[in-house]
Each structure stands twice: as structure tokens, then as C-alpha cells.
Amino acid sequence: MFEWSEEDVMVRDAVRGFIDKEVRPNLEGLESGSLPPYDILRKMLATFGMDSMNAESLEKELAAEEAGEPRSSGGGSNSLANSMFLILNMEMAGVSLGLIASMGVSLGLTVSTIRSRGTLAQKRRWLPELVTMEKVGAWAITEPDSGSDALGGMKTTVRRDGDDYILNGNKTFITNGPYADTMVVFAKLDEGDGTPMRDRKVLTFVLDKGMEGLTQGKPFKKMGMMSSPTGELFFDNVRVGRDRLLGETEETGSDKRGGDSAKAGFTAERIGIAALSLGIINECQRLSIDYAKTRTLWGQEIGKFQLIQLKLAEMEIARLNVQNMLFVAMEAAKAGKPPTLAQASAMKLYSSRAATEVAMEAVQLFGGNGYMAEYRVEQLARDAKSLMIYAGSNEIQVTHVAKGLLAQ
């Protein structure tokens, strides 16, 4: 694969049509945080038939499981082979990265965790409304004192109380946290036997909005991605039944660090970041070329100045590199050989850095206008920076790339 297919281009144009009609007119509300993203996302899923597609494929999967066929592993590289999904992500990221981040956490992380680790009854209980985004999902692992060291440093605790558990602690930086209806929450099991915190089992629970003792904080003010509400969750003696423990046993409910399903999820997420980065690079380049051809100084277009040409050329190099990485990954997934975690980490590291550099250079190319919100590149630069922090910070990606190399 070396270019998008004709069908891909048709999908892309349809997505652009949706963005022009439904997203751009609402950008001010979305990017000030005054308009939550969920109604627009629901409309987008309905417009492209993704809500019914998701519901049908879920129903098929659950019916097969009821009939005793093997369980889905959830997450993984399937989304890579689906170019429609990547194009949607890419195009939305060029306009409002937060929108697609909110959708990714709800439809991606939250759904795939319940799908891969829940019992049939748990899937029937939570997934049908999540896969259509009728309900909004959040996925909560990060805490104030443990970010990159999420599992080891976790302090949120559950202790057994008869057949139930009592949950205490708090989570931070949780995408959709302020509005979520369904929350996947990770907590350490306190067995009262003095096991050091780092060595305790991590269990995963599903909570619903409105449970006693659960508080969802207000959206944080952020540097960018204001269209994605991010906030804290607080747990004050929240009573959770065993039916909320994923898998309903402490064995299947515990987090399998480094397990195949977790690795496939991380790999897909990191490649997804490359698609988001490409969307930002494409949009910055498009806006920059347009500006270079129309802004006139010293009697000529600024595109005639070599230093401006250098910026455009470097944007093109970044675009080609990120796009080629993505094409190779898609092709490899179709051939049944999806990228390894180390390769996906290298893609995430490179593409998020490239998107941030391109967006900052776009601001520079626009001069004073670049610093003004009206010209949009300043928002893209603020949004792009976030890609270097979540889905594993870029410093953590370095460790994964190196681990892969040193294991050869």
C-alpha cells in the first residue's frame, strides 16, 4: 500500500463533509470546553452507520459466546486493518483532537477492557449502550502519585467486605471523567496481610455514575484538547459488588501485566497515535501552503522565501514518514503480521514528535497570525503536544523501543 484507495478517499471526503457541517460551526463551544463532545460524536457514529455496525458485531460476538464459541481477545490490531476507522481518526484530529480522544477512550479503552475481560453477563450489562455511545465510558488508571508507574505506584485500594468490596482512593487526568456513565477503575487489593503496596494484586471494576461515595470532578482547564473533558474521580468507601469485578473472580479480574491482550491493546493505541499525528500534520501543511501562497511581503508571496520553503519541505518529510509508517503497519496487519509493541512504540514516539514540531513551525510560518486563535494553527500546536504525553509518555516509549532491540 503506497496511497489511500479510491474507497478510502471517498470515506475521507464524506468525513470532511461531516466535519464542515457539524464540527467546524461548533468549534468555539467545543474548544472552550462549554460544549461537551458527546452529541456530536453520537451524530457522527449515526451518520456513518458505525453505531449499528458496532451493535451488530457486538451482538454476533455475544451470541457466539453464548453458543460456547471461543471468547474474543478484544482490542488488538483489527482496527488497523480498518482504514475507515483510521481515516475518521485522522481527519477529526486535524480539526479537534479532543473529540476523537474522547471517543477513543470510550469506544476503545473502556469497551475493549470490558469486552476482553468481562463475563458474558457483564458484557450484556454494559457494552450495548457503550458501543453506540448512548453511554459514555472512562478508563481510569492514572493517579496523582503514579502516572508512568501506573501499576506499581497505584494507591487506590479495595478490601473485601463479605461478598462485596470497599473502594477508596482517587484517579486523575481521566478522559470523560466528568461526564462518564460507565467507568473502568483499577485498584489494588488490600488483603490485610501486610503485602507491600507494589506487590499487591490489581483488580479491575466497572462503576456507574451516581454510585454512593463516587464523585466525578469538574473538567480541568488544559493546554489543549479542550473538546475532551478531563477530570478526577474520587472513591470514598464505594461499595462494589462482585458482579462489578471484571471476570467476577480475583484471578480473571486481575490485570495481566504484559499479557498478550494488554500488549495488543497498547500496540493498537500507539499506532492510533500515528494516525492522529498524521491528521494534524496534514492540516498544518494544508493551512501553511495556503498561507505561504497568499501572504505577500516585500512585493512577493512568502512562499518564495527559502526559509519558508524549508519549513514546507520539512512538513512534507514528516508527512511522508508518518504516512509511510502507517501504510506499512496497515499492510502488515492485513498480512497477519501486525507491528510489535516495540515497533508501535517507535511509531508513536516519532509521529507525536513530528506532529508537534510541524504544528509549532506552522505557527512560526503564520507569524503573528499564527499566535491568534482565528488562524487555527495555535490550537493544533497545543493539541499536538498532548500526543507526546499520554498513551505512554515518549520517554516510556524510548524504554519499550530499546527493550525490543536489546531482546533481539
| Residue ranges that bind ligand FAD, judged by CB under 6 A | 105, 139-142, 147-148, 173-175, 225, 230, 386, 389-390, 393, 395-396, 399
Least distance to ligand FAD, CB of residue 176, Å: 7
Give the residue with the Cβ less far from ligand FAD, 138 or 326.
138
Asked whether the CA dihedral 331, 105, 132, 283 is positive or negative, the reply is: negative
CB 134, min distance to ligand FAD, A: 20
Task: Give min distance, CB of 382 to ligand FAD, in A.
Answer: 11
Smallest distance from ligand FAD to CB 391, Å? 7
Q: Which is nearer to ligand FAD, 94 or 98 (CB)?
A: 98
The three cell numbers locating residue 14: 464524506
Nearest Cα neighbor of 92 from 37, 19, 20 is 19
Q: Of 367, 351, 329, give the one whose Cα is nearest residue 279.
A: 351
Q: Are 157 and 168 in contact (CB under 8 A)?
A: yes
Strands (E), 209-275: 214-216, 230-240
Contact between 93 and 322 (Cβ < 8 Å): no
For ligand FAD, give the closer residue by CB, 229 or 253.
Answer: 229
Which CB sits closer to ligand FAD, 148 or 296?
A: 148
Query: Between 29 and 153, whose beta carbon lies closer to ligand FAD?
Result: 153
Contact 172, 143 (CB under 8 A): yes
Residue type, 197: M
DSSP strands (E only) in 134-201: 137-140, 157-161, 164-175, 182-189
Q: Which residue is nearest to ligand FAD (CB)?
A: 147
The nearest distance, CB 406 to ligand FAD, in angstroms, is 15
- For the CB of residue 152, give the shortest distance to ligand FAD in the complex, in Å: 11
Q: What is the largest CA-CA distance in the chain?
A: 81
Find, among 142, 141, 106, 140, the residue nearest to 126 by Cα. Answer: 106
Shortest gap between Cβ of 401 and ligand FAD (angstroms)? Answer: 12
Q: What are the grid coordinates assigned to 15, written together?
A: 468525513
Output 82 or 148, the one with its CB closest to ligand FAD: 148
Q: How far is the CB of 93 from ligand FAD (least distance, A)?
A: 13
The CA distance from 277 to 271, in Å, is: 10
Q: What minimum distance in Å lies between the beta carbon of 312 and ligand FAD?
A: 29
CA distances from 282 to 89, 95, 308, 339 (A): 13, 11, 17, 23
- Between 29 and 147, name the residue whose CB sits nearer to ligand FAD: 147
Distance CA(385)–CA(350), nearest Å, equals 13
Shorter beta-carbon distance to ligand FAD: residue 96 or 119: 96
Residue closer to ligand FAD by CB (options 225, 318) is 225
Residues 6+ apart with CB under 8 A from 408: none
